[in-house]
Structure 1
Amino acid sequence: MENILGYYLMPHPPIIIPDIGKGEEKKIEETSLACNKIGREVADIKPDTIIIITPHATMFSDAIAISDEEKISGDLSQFRCTNIKMDIPIDKEFNVKLRTECHVEGIPSVLVDSELLRRYNVNYELDHGSIVPLYFINKYYKDYKLVHITYSMIGDVNLYKFGMEIKNVAEKLNRKAVIIASGDLSHKLKEEGPYSYSPYGELFDKALLGNLEKGDVLGAFNMNKTMISEAGQCGLNSVYILLGAMEGKEIKGELLSYEGTFGVGYGVMKLSRQQQDRNYLDELTKYKEEKLKAKLDESNSYVKLARENLNHYFSHGKSIEDISNLPKELLNERHGVFVSLKKFGNLRGCIGTIAPTTGSVGEEIIRNSIEAAMSDPRFPEVSEDEMDDIDISVDVLMDSEPCNKEDLDPKKYGVIVSLGMRRGLLLPDLEGVNTVDEQLQIACDKADIDFDDDYKIERFEVVRYKEG
Structure 2
Amino acid sequence: MGLLAAYAVPHPPLIVPAVGAGQEARIADTIAAYEEVARRVAEHAPDVVVIASPHAPLYRDGFFIADAPTEEGSLAAFGHPDERIAIHTDLAFAQAVADRLKRRSIPTAGAPSRHEEIDHATYVPLHFLSRHIDLSSVAVVRIGLSALSDSDHEFLGLSITRAAEDLGRRAVLIASGDLSHKLTEDGPYGFDAAGPAFDRAVTDLFAHGQLRALSRLDAELCASAAECGLRSFEIMAGALEGLPFTPELLSYEGPFGVGYAVAAFEVECGPASTEEEVEAEVRGAHARGACSPVDPIVALARASVEFMVSTGKMLPLPPDLPDELTGRRAGAFVSLHEHGGLRGCIGTIAPVRESLGEEVIANAVAAATDDPRFTPVTPDELNHLSYSVDVLGDPEPVDSLEQLDPRRYGVIVTHGFKRGLLLPDLEGVETVMDQVAIAKMKAGISPNEKAQLERFEVTRHTQGGQARLA
TM-score (norm 1): 0.57
Match of 1:9 in 2: 8
Match of 1:215 in 2: 209
Match of 1:154 in 2: 148
Match of 1:126 in 2: 118
What SS does the corresponding residue of 1:163 show, helix, strand or coil?
helix
Shift of 1:49: 0.6
1:389-423 Cα distance to aligned partner (Å, 9 max, x none): xxxxxxxxxxxxxxxxxxxxxxxxxxxxxxxxxxx
Match of 2:399 in 1: none
CA RMSD of aligned residues (A): 1.9
Instruction: Name the CA shift for 1:217/1:40 in 2 (closer, same or farther; >3 Å).
Output: closer
What SS does the corresponding residue of 2:156 show, helix, strand or coil?
helix
How far apart, in 1, do the equivalents of 2:229 and 2:177 lie?
A: 4
Match of 1:136 in 2: 128
Shift of 1:276: 7.2
Shift of 1:226: 1.4
Computing the radius of gyration from Cα coordinates, the structure with the larger value is 2
Shift of 1:81: 1.2
What SS does the corresponding residue of 2:143 show, helix, strand or coil?
strand
Alignment of 1:315-394 (within 5 A): none
What one-letter code is carried by the residue in structure 2 that aligns with 1:87? A
Q: Are residues 1:239 and 2:222 paired?
A: no
How far apart, in 2, do the equivalents of 1:109 and 1:177 lie?
A: 23
Alignment of 1:16-35 (within 5 A): 16-35=15-34
Q: Is the 8 A contact 2:182 2:225 kept in 1?
A: yes
Shift of 1:273: 3.6
1:292-328 Cα distance to aligned partner (Å, 9 max, x none): xxxxxxxxxxxxxxxxxxxxxxxxxxxxxxxxxxxxx
1:110 aligns with one of 108, 111, 115:
108
How far apart, in 2, do the equivalents of 1:273 and 1:205 lie?
A: 24
Shift of 1:199: 0.5
Match of 2:56 in 1: 57
What one-letter code is carried by the residue in structure 2 that aligns with 1:132? V
Match of 1:396 in 2: none
Match of 1:294 in 2: none
Match of 2:378 in 1: 282
Q: Is the 8 A contact 1:76 1:85 kept in 2?
A: yes
Match of 2:258 in 1: 264
Shift of 1:210: 0.6
Q: Are residues 1:253 and 2:244 paired?
A: no
1:265-300 Cα distance to aligned partner (Å, 9 max, x none): 000000134557687993769xxxxxxxxxxxxxxx
How far apart, in 2, do the equivalents of 1:9 and 1:218 lie?
A: 14
Identify the range of structure 1 (251-260 vs 63-72) with the bigger mean alpha-carbon deviation. Answer: 251-260
Q: Are residues 1:230 and 2:197 paired?
A: no
Instruction: Name the CA shift for 1:184/1:261 in 2 (closer, same or farther; >3 Å).
Output: same
Instruction: Name the CA shift for 1:218/1:247 in 2 (closer, same or farther; >3 Å).
Output: closer
Shift of 1:44: 1.4
Shift of 1:251: 4.0
Alignment of 1:195-214 (within 5 A): 195-214=189-208
For structure 1, list consecutive stretches of 5 or more residues without a partner in the other structure: 286-468
What one-letter code is carried by the residue in structure 2 that aligns with 1:233? E
Identify the range of structure 1 (78-87 vs 259-268) with the bigger mean alpha-carbon deviation. Answer: 78-87
Shift of 1:154: 0.4
Q: Is the 8 A contact 1:204 1:228 kept in 2?
A: yes
1:363-389 Cα distance to aligned partner (Å, 9 max, x none): xxxxxxxxxxxxxxxxxxxxxxxxxxx
Q: Is the 8 A contact 1:157 1:284 kept in 2?
A: no
Q: Is the 8 A contact 2:251 2:263 kept in 1?
A: yes
Shift of 1:75: 0.2
How far apart, in 2, do the equivalents of 1:50 and 1:170 lie?
A: 11
Match of 1:94 in 2: 93
How far apart, in 1, do the equivalents of 2:254 and 2:66 lie?
A: 31
What SS does the corresponding residue of 2:181 show, helix, strand or coil?
coil
How far apart, in 2, do the equivalents of 1:63 and 1:261 lie?
A: 35
